[in-house]
Chains A and B, each alone.
Chain A
Amino acid sequence: MRTLAAWLIRAQFRSRRAATLLSMLAIALGVALGYSIHLINDAALADFSRAMKTVQGEPDAVIAARDSAGSVPLPLVDEIAGDPAVLVAAAVIETRVRIDDLRTPVRLIGIDLFTAAAMMPGLLPRDAERAATGGILAGALYASPALLAEIGLQAGATLTLLRGDQRWSATIGGDLPAAGADDLLLVADIAWVQEHFGPAGAVSEVRVRLAPESDPAGWRAGVAARLPPALLLRVAQDDSERASNLSRAYRVNLNVLALVALLTGAFLVFATQLTAVAQRSTHFALLGVLGLPPRMRLLLVLLEGLAIGLPGALLGLVLGYALALAFTQLLGGDLGGGYFSGKVPLIVPQLLPASGFLLLGCAASLTGAAYPAYLNLRQPLVEALNNGFTARPQAVRSRRRQLLLPASLALLAGGLLQLPPLSGLPLAAYAAIALVLLIGVAGAPLLTQEIFGRAARLRLPATQRIALQNVAQAPLMAQVAASGLIVSFALTASMVIMVSSFRVAVDHWLDHVLPAPLYLRGKASPLPQELLTALERADAPFLRVERSAYASLTLDPRRPAVALLVRELDRRDPAARLPFTGAVLVPPPEMPVVWISEAMQEIYRIVPGQSLRLPLLGGDVEVFVGGVWRDYARQFGALVISRDDYQRLGGDFRPSDLALWPRPGEEAAAGEWLAPHAAAHALEVAESAGIRRLSLSIFDKSFAVTYALEAAAMVIGVFGLAVTLTASVWLRARELATLAALGFDQRMLRHALMLEGALIASVGLLIGLACGIAIGAILTHVVNPQAFHWRMPLHLPWLALLGGAVATLAAAVLASRQAAREATRLPLAQVLASSQ
């Protein structure tokens, strides 16, 4: 039996090389994309946790402030260190500082050498012999090898660190031998850091190693209960979970694109195998008559599917690995998503995930082969042996029963869309998308029969009438030919709709959030007082200056921190600056008010009008939620508080960003006025138009991958049509030969076939467009809010959609030319002479 299968598969590959290769490639593409995304992300996460371990060691617990502006007071540090269950308590001060000509701030970590030796071996300094600084306790700085290379300095050189108005010049005493190759780090003694940059009488965090005989869980619970609300206790697990949460939605979206490719691959296998079964139905029937067991008739077709899927998937793994290497070299570990700072992570393929993706590719092609295999099993042997494939195995079905399937699928999809996300992912919505595609494919024969059956009854020239009749009477073939186009156009159209809706929304949003002509940014590090004072003088060429400061709040240690934006805006009229999505509520006069972003509303399930306790400024502050605003910049949530409220709560307002309105006519002077300040403090000045351009170009770049995939999907769809049409020509050889014998010349025959291709493509594109709009709406209104917490209105780019449809139609007509040419090459006399 194995020999027979091998003979048949080899024969099949020999006679249908193009279609088989194409299906193989589509499967390979899907597997390659999925696998490369997996490899890259795995490497990036491993890189992230390694870097984390270097800086933090492997403590049993970390105690830190929830507010990035907060700190852990020294008495508490002493209390923890004195706890008998604690083996080591390492206090750490961590801050970001600027180095003269380095544009990005660098992490400065203040450690206590003796506790660090036990807890954070990755941070231990090594004195260079020639530096002779007297060591870390004498105030020397230690830089990671990567940083030394970046600034081009060696041990013994003096380095000036800046943070706002504070500065510290110190000698580089040596390096950090255990730091990772990419880590940009500075280490100094904690007391020296505290003296120059604060915080007074406090530290950033305490990292705890417990005694071997203690009960870590019990100890953590006890301490967590005693901690003031402004502090939190973290474990290492929270950190890795947070890192994975960070890029999860982005990853999922890319994975869905990979699935799209895999799905198109499955459809191609479907088209290939169905036409293959149809073409060889007499062969299979003969084998059945000769005694091939029915089970084997099913298995052979599945096996052929596998023979396409397995090499495809293997090729996909190799391709995926190559893609992963190429992408990380080009874009870094987050594919341009901007979630990880690591440089080029190391790609390490592992057996288990690789076999997982291999199976996925095989499963896709088996799924594609399943229905053809079933049809092959169900073919009545004698009928198939004498007449070949019957295009309508269940010919007479009532219209009502035909409508039943799509209708019930639509109901099911509607139900799925009502479900909430599963563990943060819009899985139900993805299932609904698959159902929409299924409805489109299942509905195709209905539409073709309805439209073309009716049209064929019109008085038309023979060529046209024949074409219409062919489509109407072989709905299954039409369905197969159209299904590839339905799926690929639906997915492409939906992506185009989603991306365009998103882009239009971002465009509007930028209008609202960039009211000033000029912006000055300190990159999350406070601006020098000297500049702020100069701005307040009368000779500064500015009509208006609005300042803002940033901090972050950790509300849940397993989630990325929420951004806290302190802004100079009117508490009674925040809508002048923030793009609110609903009503703005008037807060009670005695209560501080915050306005939360959509993401924060969805992640933490907060509603406007409620009050909220926030771990703000070392306390536990009750605030009023005054409204929800749209924020496409911070996916993990943001909240805005007015400067007045912040200061009333005792906050120290140290602005890091400025929005500037130059006096009319003095725009050039304003730029010149700012230039020396920006140069002196490594600040960034940007015009709103520039920021806008940059934001949109980043947006476009991050969706560039999708355009490539869309193009690939369309090519695959058109090829699928060509393959099926060509096969259908062979299937109808006798019919075509009869037409020729009756006086159809080659030109007429060719025109009839091209018309047929155009008709089928039109049906496919029409249904594809309808499905695409439905899926686009699901992506925009359900998937995006659930995965990214971003909402936006639906925008249909008709020009692009119709343009794409027309271009595809043209390609389809060209593709059917190929099939038509095949028809004119049929050995007509021979076909007529043979009895089958």
Chain B
Amino acid sequence: MLTATGLAKRHREASRALFTDLAFTVAAGEIVALVGESGIGKSTLLNCIAGLDTPDGGAIAIGSPAVDIVRLGEAARAALRARSIGFVFQAFHVLPTLTVAQNIGVPLLLAGVPAAEHASRTQALLTGVGLPGFGDRWPASLSGGELQRVAIARALVHRPRLILADEPTGNLDPRTAGQVLTLLLERVREQRASALIVTHSRHVAESCDRILTLTPQGLE
């Protein structure tokens, strides 16, 4: 599903390279946890995989038939993200000017899913994340945990094959974090998607199929 080879990255103005020769794979349907100290380069790695940042060297093959996102242009990367990748962020990033249902509908529009399916898919996911009847509410009236559930619904609604989550529970209290995470894993498994989840929580990491640890020397 995801195969990275020979990845190297050093930020402009940075004194040292974050990684020099990284290689790993995430199999289809596999959920992998990515752990490591703050500032080690986890977010940078995720951004490279999503085509939001460009590694200095190496290849990142996504999907089958595999496409190397590193070699794609700006527009093709966006199209690949719209079709095949779902995102969950630490800071939720739910658009305050759209309703909950509209927020969840955005990836459907971007992926070109036929309009007839929108309502049913959105409703199904709202129920799936435990927010039935929240469709017409504005994000400002939702709690952090509810917002992150909306974000999870949005990450899955267009049925991407790869989910990228960057500390999805970092802004939540431990109890809510546990609920939200369980939900995320359940839904990903349900859709048989692959996922790469950055986390600081041992508990979260242990719920995943496999754990990758990023160190200055590379992946372990």
Q: Chain A: residues with CB nearer than 8 A to chain B? A: 1, 3-4, 7-8, 11-12, 14-15, 280, 282-283, 286-295, 381-382, 385-386, 834-836
Contacts and interface: CB of A to CB of B under 8 A. Distances in A.
Interface string B61-100: 0000000000000110011111101010111010101100
Interface of B: 47, 50, 52-53, 74-75, 78-83, 85, 87, 89-91, 93, 95, 97-98, 102, 106-107, 109-111, 115, 154, 171
A697 B102 CA distance: 62
Contacts of A836: 91
Contact of A291 (B47, B83, B98, B171): B83
A433 B220 CA distance: 66
Contacts of B90: 835
A293 B171 CA distance: 29
A418 B193 CA distance: 70
B93 A293 contact: no
B91 A11 contact: no
B107 A11 contact: no
Given A294-B75, A835-B91, A287 B97 contact: no
Contact of A289 (B87, B102, B115): B87
A313 B63 CA distance: 49
Contact of B97 (A1, A12, A288, A290): A12
A834 B110 CA distance: 27
Nearest to B97: A11
A290 B74 CA distance: 13
Contact of B110 (A15, A280, A291): A291
B91 A289 contact: no
B171 A292 contact: no
A291 B81 contact: yes
Contact of B78 (A3, A11, A294, A835): A294
Contact of B93 (A8, A12, A385): A385
B182 to A, nearest CB: 23
A7 B102 contact: yes
B81 A290 contact: yes
Given A14-B97, A283-B95, A293 B75 contact: yes
A382 B164 CA distance: 14
A380 to B, nearest CB: 9
B106 A4 contact: yes
B79 A291 contact: yes
The 7 closest A-B pairs by CB, nearest first: A291-B82, A11-B97, A291-B81, A291-B110, A4-B109, A293-B78, A835-B91
B163 to A, nearest CB: 13
A115 B82 CA distance: 82
A294 B82 CA distance: 12
B103 to A, nearest CB: 10
Which interface residue of A289, A381, A836 has the most chain B CB atoms within 10 A? A289
Contacts of B154: 290
A290 B98 CA distance: 15
B97 A4 contact: no
Nearest to B85: A291
Contacts of B109: 1, 3-4
A302 B154 CA distance: 27
A289 B81 contact: yes
A290 B91 contact: no
A7 B93 contact: no
A10 to B, nearest CB: 9
A103 to B, nearest CB: 67
A382 B52 contact: yes
Contacts of A294: 74-75, 78
Contacts of A12: 97
Contacts of A8: 97
A7 B78 contact: no
Which interface residue of A7, A288, A386 has the most chain B CB atoms within 10 A? A7
19 contacts: A3-B109, A4-B110, A15-B97, A282-B93, A283-B97, A286-B95, A287-B110, A289-B50, A290-B87, A291-B81, A291-B82, A293-B78, A293-B79, A295-B75, A382-B47, A385-B93, A835-B90, A835-B91, A835-B171
A12 B93 CA distance: 17
B55 to A, nearest CB: 14
B52 A290 contact: no
A292 B79 CA distance: 7
Contacts of A293: 75, 78-79
Nearest to A8: B97
Given A11-B95, A291-B81, A382-B53, 17 more contacts: A3-B115, A8-B97, A11-B98, A12-B97, A283-B97, A287-B106, A287-B110, A290-B82, A290-B87, A290-B107, A291-B82, A292-B78, A293-B75, A386-B91, A835-B91, A835-B171, A836-B91
Contact of A7 (B53, B82, B98, B115): B98
Contacts of A1: 109-110
B96 to A, nearest CB: 8
